Amino acid sequence: MSGSNGSINRAAFRTMECGLYIVTSRSGDRLNGQIANTVFQVTSQPPRIATSLSKSNLTHEYIAESGVFTVCVMAEEAPFAFIGPFGFRSGRVINKLEGISYVIGINGCPVITDHVVASIEARVTDSVDVGTHTLFIGDVVSARLLHDARPMTYAFYQQNLKGKTPVDSPTYIPEE
């Protein structure tokens, strides 16, 4: 057992399993999306989901403006070349949806249709300031199964795509 009482061994965070998602939003007719591993269902009745996004991200700006977001659940077969721009580039610098297949959902956000197993569309009900990030909580307005494939877990991403986590992610682990 490593780490004594009261100390923070960040390796403990890596034991918390989660999935990998593209969270999309819009501002007017401008669209964007980013990778997030901090997405989870918070209640069942009514169905409600939450995501923790960095205040410096364009996706954060769009959700704060429009009050809507959509979670696209990544498939295991998604290549790093597909994930990379969504997770390591900002929509302020590139148009991440150029050349990507998507449809517009009922909340007006893009639903990505390649390398995605399901989509969950939400309208924000609460925003909690958690410091560097905002926890956006939303009522689900639509949920669809898109492809019969295995959803990607964060562990699968780290083990098989050898992907790193950028500093903007809540689960970023700084060098100690």
Is residue 126 within a helix (H) or strand (E), and if so which, with residue range? strand 116-129
Q: Which is nearer to ligand FMN, 33 or 105 (CB)?
A: 33
CB nearest ligand FMN: which residue? 87
Is residue 71 within a helix (H) or strand (E), and if so which, with residue range? strand 68-74
Closest separation between CB of residue 110 and ligand FMN, Å?
13
Closest separation between CB of residue 112 and ligand FMN, Å?
14
State the Cα–Cα distance between residues 99 and 38, nearest whole angstrom: 26
For position 27 contacting ligand FMN by CB under 6 A, the verdict is: no
What number of other Cβ atoms are within 10 A of residue 67's Cβ? 16
For position 168 contacting ligand FMN by CB under 6 A, the verdict is: yes
Tell me the two tokens of residue 127.
């925003």
Closest separation between CB of residue 130 and ligand FMN, Å?
11
For position 166 contacting ligand FMN by CB under 6 A, the verdict is: yes
Residues from 118 through 147 that contact ligand FMN (CB under 6 A): 133
State the Cα–Cα distance between residues 143 and 122, nearest whole angstrom: 9
Segment near ligand FMN (CB under 6 A), from 31-39, 67-75, 102-110, 139-147?
31-39
For position 88 contacting ligand FMN by CB under 6 A, the verdict is: yes
DSSP string across 2-68: -S-TT---GGGGGGS--B-EEEEEEETTEEEEEEES-EEEEETTTTEEEEEEETTSHHHHHHHHH-E
Tell me the two tokens of residue 124.
């924000």
For position 66 contacting ligand FMN by CB under 6 A, the verdict is: no
Size of the site for ligand FMN (CB under 6 A): 25
For position 110 contacting ligand FMN by CB under 6 A, the verdict is: no
Tell me the two tokens of residue 160.
């098989």
For position 40 contacting ligand FMN by CB under 6 A, the verdict is: no
Residues found near ligand FMN in the complex (CB under 6 A): 32, 34-38, 52-54, 57-59, 87-91, 133, 157, 163, 165-166, 168-170
